[in-house]
């Protein structure tokens, strides 16, 4: 077994454990600044470090979280005690990952569609990130649903980018998170979302096959099949679970070890209930878990408010949220367990 395969196997075995998920703490500076400003928290390098240190030093976090996706800024930072974040995570039996795409750009000659940049120099950056302690990576592509989108061109271009990124990751012994996000900002129905999701995932796995990506060593991070926010017909958790699993069974090979969903604008409670509904369905060949950002962090950020006096309370509420999603990843969550998980 060559060193790259050995590294891939070690990492995927850790991240695909039943009952554990991934914390997405890789918000760009612009994104986390917006979230901080909404709560009156100044966004500086130090406040961003303090916030992420609060999350990652939460006692017993490794009971429910196997990996944390970092933004490059965080990977290069040290904690208040002078420890690198990747080393802090490793000491707590949590793996460090890294967001490696360079964000979205307009896809020319389309109607407001986007592609993802960052393939240039990726091989060199991955070598640097691995030396700093990262063992997995993330690349995000996005798709908007309208009457005419996503276009076939956008679906193929984004699939190709995801596959090229995944191949480069595996050549460096880094497990790729493949993230095709279908946005839920429009008024589409759950049926329309199912149709688009099937097209997108089919294209993604066709591209992964063409680029000879080893499916045993990837993490799929898809959207759930759900109605748009502006749709009047709101799907139940049972509908979301049923429709999502139906499309996954049509498109995702059983060789993929774990599917860790993004929450994509859902509330904390919705994301947990929907994940649980999937895990109540029998016969899934993959581990179905979470890779949430806001759906894990939202209440803890609102509790923390940038004040060190609130760290313990914020960590408590963050751990409770992680625990509830761990239960959902095994089909053991109920809404009655939601007590004391949101700030007063």
Question: Which is it for the CA torsion 91, 92, 94, 98, positive or negative?
Answer: negative
The owner of tokens 């904390």 is 268
Residue whose C-alpha is closest to residue 115's, from 123, 107, 103, 125: 107
Residue whose C-alpha is closest to residue 69's, from 233, 244, 236, 262: 262
Q: Count the neighbouring beta carbons within 10 Å of the beta carbon of residue 344.
A: 4
**DSSP character for 78?**
B
Tell me which residues are annotated as active site. Answer: 179, 221
Q: Are 262 and 181 in contact (CB under 8 A)?
A: yes
CA atoms within 13 A on the CB side of 127: 4
Q: Report the distance separating Cα 296 and Cα 180, nearest Å.
A: 20
Question: In a 3-state reduction of DSSP, which class is residue 22?
Answer: strand
Question: In a 3-state reduction of DSSP, which class is residue 222?
Answer: coil
């Amino acid at each position: 077994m060559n060193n790259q395969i050995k590294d891939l196997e070690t990492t995927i075995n850790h991240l695909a454990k039943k009952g554990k998920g991934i914390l997405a703490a890789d918000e760009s500076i612009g994104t986390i600044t917006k979230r901080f400003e909404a709560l009156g928290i100044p966004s500086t390098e130090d406040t961003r470090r303090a916030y992420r240190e609060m999350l990652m030093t939460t006692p017993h976090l490794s009971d429910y979280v196997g990996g944390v996706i970092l933004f490059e800024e965080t990977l290069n930072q040290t904690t208040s005690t002078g420890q690198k974040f990747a080393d802090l995570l490793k000491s707590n039996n949590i793996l460090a990952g890294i967001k490696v795409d360079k964000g979205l750009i307009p896809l020319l000659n389309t109607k407001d569609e986007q592609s993802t940049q960052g393939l240039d120099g990726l091989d060199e950056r991955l070598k640097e990130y691995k030396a700093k302690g990262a063992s997995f990576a993330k690349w995000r592509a996005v798709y908007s649903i309208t009457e005419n989108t996503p276009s076939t061109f956008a679906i193929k271009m984004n699939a190709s980018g995801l596959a090229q990124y995944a191949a480069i990751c595996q050549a460096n012994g880094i497990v790729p998170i493949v993230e095709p996000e279908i946005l839920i900002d429009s008024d589409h129905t759950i049926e329309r979302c199912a149709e688009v999701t099937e097209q997108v995932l089919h294209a993604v796995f066709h591209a992964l096959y063409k680029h000879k990506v080893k499916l045993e060593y990837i993490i799929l991070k898809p959207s759930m099949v759900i109605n748009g926010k502006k749709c009047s017909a709101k799907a139940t958790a049972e509908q979301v679970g049923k429709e999502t699993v139906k499309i996954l069974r049509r498109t995702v090979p059983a060789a993929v070890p774990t599917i860790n969903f993004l929450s994509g604008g859902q509330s904390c409670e919705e994301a947990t209930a929907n994940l649980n509904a999937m895990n109540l369905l029998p016969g899934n060949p993959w581990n179905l878990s979470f890779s949430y950002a806001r759906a894990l962090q939202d209440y803890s950020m609102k509790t923390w408010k940038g004040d060190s006096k609130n760290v313990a309370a914020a960590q408590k509420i963050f751990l409770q949220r992680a625990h509830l999603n761990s239960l959902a990843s095994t089909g053991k969550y109920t809404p009655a367990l939601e007590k004391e998980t949101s700030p007063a």
